[in-house]
Amino acid sequence: MNTHSFLVLFGRDRRHKINKKEKNNKYHLILKAAVKVFARQGFYQSTVAQIAREAGVADGTIYLYFKNKDDILVHFFSYRTKQVFERFRAEVNKSDNSLDKLRNLIRRHLTEFQRDRDMAVVYQVETHQNSRLAEDQIREMSQMYQDLVSEIVETGQQEGRIRKDLYVGLVKRFILGAVDEVINTWLHSDKNYDLVSMADPLVDLFVRGIGTSD
């Protein structure tokens, strides 16, 4: 290979890497802008033009990365929320016992949703509305979370930290329902309070219940 051929080949590879990086940046920029618009306008009231304006790109640029507005929502669930749930798993794996695993999971869940309120709004609204646009992605995310909670509960039962006479499915729904309600209350509250501060009281409620020792 002569010098000219090497430079041409190297230049082509370099341009490919730059373009790929630029594409990646634009993708995330548009996705972030879309989530913000969906959270504030509502998905069905939002338009591609509004998303483009929020992202600072031309309307046509959206279609280089997404088929339409519906496709953006699908990508939100398949990428953004999956990314968050991977953090849940990493946080759970940091602990050696079931109760600390549960505490880590709840705290990380509330932390991620408090950190990105727009994401929390879109996730809560679309999952509660049973959106058919991202039905498969929502089902996958829900199953990932339920499997993680079931794993923690079953480990707790084996450790003797969680009652063995309880149905795992019932405990799982109890935990998921409580966390979901705490997040919804926070999102709709007029008061500005720390969502993460609810983590320890939630875990205490899960473990101790509401009855006295008598």
**Domains detected in the chain:** 1-66 (1.10.10.60), 69-214 (1.10.357.10)
Q: Are 117 and 187 in contact (CB under 8 A)?
A: yes
Give the model's pLDDT for residue 127: 85
Give the model's pLDDT for residue 126: 86
Residue partners of 80: CB distance under 8 A and separation at least 6: 31, 35, 119
Amino acid of residue 33: A
State how far the Cα of 156 lies from the Cα of 118, in Å rounded to an integer. Answer: 34
Distances from the Cα of 13 to the Cαs of 18, 26, 48, 141, 152, in angstroms? 9, 20, 33, 37, 47
State how far the Cα of 155 lies from the Cα of 118, in Å rounded to an integer. Answer: 34
Q: Are 199 and 110 in contact (CB under 8 A)?
A: yes
Give the model's pLDDT for residue 196: 96
Give the model's pLDDT for residue 213: 66
Give the model's pLDDT for residue 97: 93
State how far the Cα of 205 lies from the Cα of 178, in Å rounded to an integer. Answer: 10
Please report, in tens digits, the pLDDT of each residue of the chain (214 residues total): 543 443 333 344 433 443 454 457 899 999 999 999 999 999 999 999 999 999 999 999 999 999 999 999 999 988 877 888 889 999 999 999 999 999 999 999 999 999 999 999 999 998 887 667 778 888 888 888 899 999 999 999 999 999 999 999 999 999 999 999 999 999 999 888 999 999 999 999 999 888 776 5
pTM of the model: 0.82
Q: How far is CA 69 from the centre of its chain?
A: 19
Give the model's pLDDT for residue 91: 95
| Helix (H) or strand (E) run with residue 156 in it | helix 135-159
Residue partners of 48: CB distance under 8 A and separation at least 6: 59, 62, 68, 69
Q: Are 48 and 70 in contact (CB under 8 A)?
A: no
Q: How far is CA 162 from the centre of its chain?
A: 27
Q: Are 88 and 148 in contact (CB under 8 A)?
A: yes
Give the model's pLDDT for residue 82: 81
State how far the Cα of 42 lies from the Cα of 202, in Å rounded to an integer. Answer: 30
Give the model's pLDDT for residue 12: 42
Q: Are 49 and 59 in contact (CB under 8 A)?
A: yes
Give the model's pLDDT for residue 214: 58
